[in-house]
Structure 1
């Protein structure tokens, strides 16, 4: 993260200024359905979500925020399109941040009304621009949708709100084109010190979306750009949190948890290594250990040596398996007992 960005408070969280990068997601429930929305937010919070965004397409949704806020523990962002009155209502009903695109809110007077309400409640405004909604004149100016056009559009809207006397802003510029998105963030980071919310929009399904998000966010975050992130996936929002945590941990931007490493299968593999590795990855999610590396190996011949950099590991072959610590075999057992033995070791890790 860029240490020279301004700090912005969203509920009880602070972003920018070198603070840790926070993970966001968005509910896919009907916001008007308080019970379903709260249940999803609570599940996302347990998974590691730091900030949640809810769509506010109706006045009923805006009014539901009051009750939703009572039952959740993370900041809530209201996502507004087109109707400035919904933004005003969301602010009135307790939103911790408002997401708008000033370009589709309407007249300057309507944007001013939203800014005035945000100022009164001391809540930040997220100025969002997507490549798909780039203004016609900028498309013509740059001969198509470009990173330069996206940045100009975003900064025009930032300056509009700053000229209204309000600078409590977060900026978001997104594109489904990974390299265009990366370039746009490089450009805007040189031109503003407002915190940036980073993501690859409309990334796709779990498979393609995860790859595009990992590549795009990796490029952007590695340059120290970005203060909050969202992995946008067509799927269960819980998967967005799992992916975001893994991306941050892989880049060294977030510590904690258990890391699972596993070897690729080969002709020597004599166990269901793919199934075992997936079982281990799921199993360790609820074990509260920090910075432990677990290896899952498919070969009793090379397994111990290949797992020597892990804290603990298992390897198996032809009905038998072994428990390994720091490359040393500590126990042999039937293959079907490996998973249980590993779990017991991890549950009692700090007792050793």
Structure 2
């Protein structure tokens, strides 16, 4: 186990990570950053969903210049993702970015890295040092048996960190990622024992909603439960809003975050006489709009429903064309099936009033 509170505190815009600050949820826009209107619209939607730090790609000078206008219209820290051109990193900093993400190995010469570091230092902009398994240096692959290893990823990342430290800067966040879940876990365990910089954790290229969520939940669940990680991104091939929902649920399930309604539902069986699958999905979508720290149960039958929902704050259970409203295991109302969702919504609207 690791003590995440011992990590160095890094300020990103008006938010801090590391130390005993809460684990921050991140995502990345899939809009073209040059399209300010579309990018701002997506960021505002992500903010409303619970995103706390947002990253945008900066592949062109036009994208770097768009940062100024984007920053005026959003309310969470903005991170610039830079891959190769050090001039884009410098421009992003000059246009008001809150953090930059670079792999110094891709930037080029030490002089170019120094130019970025000097600019970041002057503007008090932290650097996220990112190393992915897919971009590991050939000499480190050779050193560790001719293939990518957790040890090689960690060595690569720490080499970059030491380079930036040697250039006189220590405002860094480390990100090491792999699509191999257990390799990613091992790499984070290794690096957590070697550095006190805050760690950005996630499973990169994890896949679509189903595979991506499962791989991310397993990998992040292990790491976070061991005390590793200070900010997270669930990388999914899909709408970035889904990343936020998944990240919130992972943190809540591990007890690392409070707030937000948790939905529990039964898997259905031969006793089910209502459209439980449809109802459960509607309930899950409904509760996204409430900042209540409660549990809602959606049960398929009136035989076991009340008992199974006993640990929930409120729940519904289906019958034949009708359903029950349940509070703390006690039946309080019977309504037609088509009114169940509306009745539940009314209860949530007036919760604690």
Structure 1 CA distance for aligned equivalents of residues 14 and 304 of structure 2: 50
Structure 2 CA distance for aligned equivalents of residues 301 and 190 of structure 1: 51
Of 203, 209, 213, 1:210 maps to: 213
Secondary structure at 1:313 match in 2? strand
Structure 2 CA distance for aligned equivalents of residues 128 and 49 of structure 1: 20
1:113 aligned to 2:120?
no
TM-score normalised over the length of structure 1: 0.98
Tell me the residue number matched to 2:275: 272
Q: CA deviation at 1:270?
A: 1.0
Of 253, 277, 286, 1:283 maps to: 286
Tell me the residue number matched to 1:141: 143
Query: Runs (4+) of structure 1 moved beyond 2 Å?
Result: none
Q: CA deviation at 1:336?
A: 1.2
Secondary structure at 2:4 match in 1? coil
Tell me the residue number matched to 2:42: 40
Tell me the residue number matched to 1:298: 300
Aligned runs of 1:309-328 on 2, under 5 Å?
309-328=311-330
1:99 aligned to 2:93?
no
Structure 1 CA distance for aligned equivalents of residues 159 and 41 of structure 2: 38
1:232 aligned to 2:235?
yes
Gaps in structure 1 of 5+ consecutive residues: none
Of 51, 59, 62, 1:60 maps to: 62
Aligned length: 350
Structure 2 CA distance for aligned equivalents of residues 313 and 106 of structure 1: 58
Of 152, 156, 160, 1:153 maps to: 156
Structure 1 CA distance for aligned equivalents of residues 184 and 28 of structure 2: 20
Structure 1 CA distance for aligned equivalents of residues 117 and 84 of structure 2: 15
Q: CA deviation at 1:288?
A: 2.9
Secondary structure at 2:324 match in 1? strand
Aligned-residue CA RMSD (Å) = 0.7
Of 9, 16, 27, 1:14 maps to: 16
Structure 1 CA distance for aligned equivalents of residues 351 and 303 of structure 2: 26
Tell me the residue number matched to 2:88: 86
TM-score normalised over the length of structure 2: 0.98
Gaps in structure 2 of 5+ consecutive residues: none
